[in-house]
C-alpha cells in the first residue's frame, strides 16, 4: 500500500476506535444483530418512510497507483423500498507504471437506484437496480462513456457468529466507479472489489462468501467472485492518458491492456475475471462503517487494497445526543 492508503487506514482505525468507545457507553451489539443493524441504516429496510442521506469515502491502491472516490448520496425510503441518487467525485493519482501519465479528477458517472430490502432474523435479502448517466469524462477514466445499468441481488443468513451469503447480478459495466457507488452486501455496503479500470459490456457477476463476527464491532469478511461477460467488451483505463506515450511503461513486467492503452476493445475474454477478496470491517455505531479490504484478481494478476468509510448522515448526528 502507498503512503496515501496507509495514512487513510490509520486515520480510519483511529476514528473507529474513538467511535467504538463512545458507543460502548450506550449500547452493546450482539453478533446476530450487528450486520442487520447496519443493513437497516444503509437500506432503510425497517425504517418508516423518510429522507435518507449518506456519504462514502474510499481510497484504493493498485500497482498502477492510488485512486480515491467520495460519493455523497441522497434518497427517500418507503419502508422496504428506497430510491437514491449519487454523485461520485473521483481523483486518480499519478501512475507508477506509465510514463507521461498525470494525476486528474472530477465528477464520475452519476447514478439513480431503486432497492428493496428484507432484514430479519431468518434472512437478509437486498435487491438493487441502478442506472448511470455518462457525466464522467471517459477519455481520462472518470466514466464509462455511455449509460449503464445493473441489477444486483444479495441473500444471506446468520448462524450465530457466521453469515454465509450469495451475491449475484447482471449489468453492463463494472469497475472503480460502478462498484464503489452501489449499496450491496450483508451490511448494506459495497464489497471490497475495486479496479484501476472500468469495463463496458453485458456481463453477469457473482460473489459467494461469509461474514465472521470476531469481537465487539469487528467482522471479518471473505468471498470469491466471478465475472462472466458476453458480446463485445471495452476496457477504459483510469491511469493511461488518451494520447501520448500510452505504450511506454516502466519495468520488465508483462502488461495488461489497461496498463498500456487508454481504451481497449475486444471479445468477452477481454473482461472475464475471477478472484477473491477479504476485509476487516468495523461498525462502532449503526450509522458508521469502516473497512480495510484486499482483493485479488487471478485472471488479471491484480492486487488492490481499499480503505473506506461510510456514514449515515441522518442518524449520525443523533448518536451524540
How many domains is the chain built from? 1
**What range does the domain containing 280 cover?**
3-320
- Pick out the chain residues at pLDDT < 70: 1-48, 176-193, 244-255, 317-321
SS3 letters across the chain:
CCHHHHHHHHHHHHHHHHHHHHHHCCCCCCHHHHHHHHHHHHHCCCCCCEEEEEEEEEEEEECCEEEEEEEEEEEEEECCEEEEEECCEEEECCCCCECCCCCEEEECCCEEEEEEEEECCCCEEEEEEEEECCCCCHHHCCCCCCCEEEEEEEEECCECCEEEEEEEEEEEEEEHHHHHHCCCCCCCCCCCCCCCEEEEEEEEEEEEEEEEEEECCEEEEEEEEEEEECCCEEEEECCCCCCCCCCCECCCCCCCHHHHCCEEEECHHHCCEEEEEEEEEEEEECCEEEEEEEEEECCCCEEEEEEEEEEECCCHHHHHC
Report pLDDT for 38.
45
The whole-number pLDDT of residue 37 equals 45
CATH number at residue 253: 2.40.160.40
Amino acid at each position: 500500500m502507498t503512503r496515501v492508503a496507509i495514512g487513510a487506514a490509520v486515520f480510519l482505525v483511529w476514528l473507529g476506535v474513538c467511535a467504538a468507545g463512545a458507543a460502548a457507553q450506550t449500547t452493546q451489539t450482539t453478533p446476530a444483530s450487528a450486520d442487520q443493524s447496519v443493513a437497516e441504516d444503509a437500506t432503510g429496510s425497517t425504517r418508516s418512510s423518510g429522507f435518507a442521506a449518506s456519504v462514502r469515502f474510499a481510497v484504493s491502491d493498485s500497482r498502477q497507483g492510488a485512486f480515491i472516490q467520495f460519493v455523497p448520496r441522497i434518497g427517500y425510503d418507503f419502508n422496504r423500498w428506497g430510491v437514491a441518487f449519487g454523485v461520485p467525485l473521483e481523483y486518480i493519482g499519478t501512475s507508477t507504471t506509465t510514463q507521461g501519465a498525470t494525476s486528474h479528477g472530477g465528477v464520475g458517472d452519476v447514478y439513480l437506484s431503486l432497492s428493496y430490502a428484507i432484514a430479519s432474523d431468518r434472512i437478509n435479502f437486498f435487491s438493487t437496480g441502478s442506472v448511470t448517466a455518462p457525466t464522467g469524462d471517459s477519455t481520462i477514466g472518470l466514466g464509462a462513456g455511455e449509460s449503464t445499468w445493473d441489477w444486483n441481488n444479495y441473500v444471506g443468513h446468520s448462524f450465530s457468529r457466521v453469515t454465509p451469503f450469495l451475491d449475484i447480478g447482471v449489468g453492463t459495466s463494472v469497475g472503480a466507479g460502478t462498484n464503489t457507488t452501489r449499496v450491496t452486501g450483508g451490511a448494506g455496503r459495497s464489497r471490497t472489489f475495486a479496479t484501476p479500470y472500468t469495463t463496458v459490456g453485458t456481463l453477469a457477476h457473482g460473489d459467494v462468501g461469509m461474514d465472521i463476527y470476531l469481537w465487539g464491532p469487528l467482522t471479518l469478511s471473505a468471498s470469491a467472485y466471478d465475472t462472466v461477460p458476453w458480446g463485445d467488451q471495452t476496457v477504459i483505463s483510469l491511469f493511461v492518458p488518451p494520447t501520448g506515450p500510452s505504450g511506454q511503461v516502466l519495468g520488465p513486467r508483462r502488461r495488461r491492456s489497461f496498463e498500456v492503452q487508454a481504451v481497449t476493445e475486444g471479445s468477452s475474454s477481454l473482461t472475464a475475471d475471477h478472484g477473491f477478496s477479504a476485509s476487516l470491517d468495523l461498525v462502532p455505531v449503526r450509522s458508521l462503517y469502516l473497512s480495510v479490504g484486499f482483493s485479488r484478481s487471478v485472471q488479471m494478476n491484480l492486487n488492490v487494497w481499499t480503505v473506506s468509510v461510510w456514514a449515515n448522515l441522518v442518524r449520525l448526528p443523533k448518536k451524540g445526543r
